[in-house]
Structure 1
C-alpha cells in the first residue's frame, strides 16, 4: 500500500473513545506535564527562595497530592485559581499570573 492509500485508509478509520480511554489519555498527559514542570518549579524555588532538599521534597509531594485530588475530581484548576486569587491576591491570566 502506498502512502496516499494508507493516508486515506487511516483518515477513514473510525476512532471510538470511551470515557475510560479519555481519562487514561488525560492522566498520561498530566503525568508528562508534571514530569516537565516539576523540575523547573523546584529549580526556581531553590534559586529564588533558597529551598533545600527537605522543602523541595515537601513541595514535590504536595504537588503530586493536589494532582491526585484533581484526577479524582475533588479539585479543579478553576477552584485552585479562585482560592489563590482570594487568599493571596494573585489573578491568573492566559499564560501567566499577576
Structure 2
C-alpha cells in the first residue's frame, strides 16, 4: 500500500455552497426548537406559529442582506423589554 497523501482541491463556490447548507441546517434546527417551545410552552397554534415563522424568516433575510445585525436586535430587545440575550 502506498502512503502517499492525496491532495483535495475545493473551489470557493463549493465551500460557499457547503457553508450555506450547514447554515441552513442550523437555522432549521433553531426554528424547530423555537416552534416547539412556543407550541408546547405557550400554546401557540397554527396561526400564531405561522406569524412567528414569517417574522423569523423576514428578520433572517434582513440580517443576510445587511439591513440589520444580531447586535442591533440584542440591544433593542434589552432597551425595550429589559430582557438580556447573552
Partners of 1:32 and 1:67 lie apart in 2 by 14
Residues 64 and 70 of structure 1, relative CA distance in 2, 3 Å threshold: same
Superposition CA RMSD, Å: 2.4
Cα pair 1:27 1:71 within 8 Å, conserved = no
Change in Cα spacing, 1:82 to 1:26, as seen in structure 2 (3 Å) is farther
1:13-52 superposed matches below 5 A:
17=12, 27-52=20-45
Instruction: Extract unaligned runs of 5+ from structure 1.
Output: 94-98
Aligned residues: 85
Q: Which residue of 1 aligns with 2:63?
A: 70
CA–CA distance in structure 1, aligned partners of residues 30 and 81 of structure 2: 22
Q: 1:72 to 1:83 in 2, by over 3 A?
A: same
- CA gap of 1:25–1:76, structure 2 versus 1, over 3 A, is farther
Matched, 1:53 2:46: yes
State the alpha-carbon separation in 2 of the partners of residues 16 and 57 from structure 1. Answer: 38
More strand per residue: 1 or 2?
Answer: 1
Unpaired segments of 5 or more residues in structure 2? none
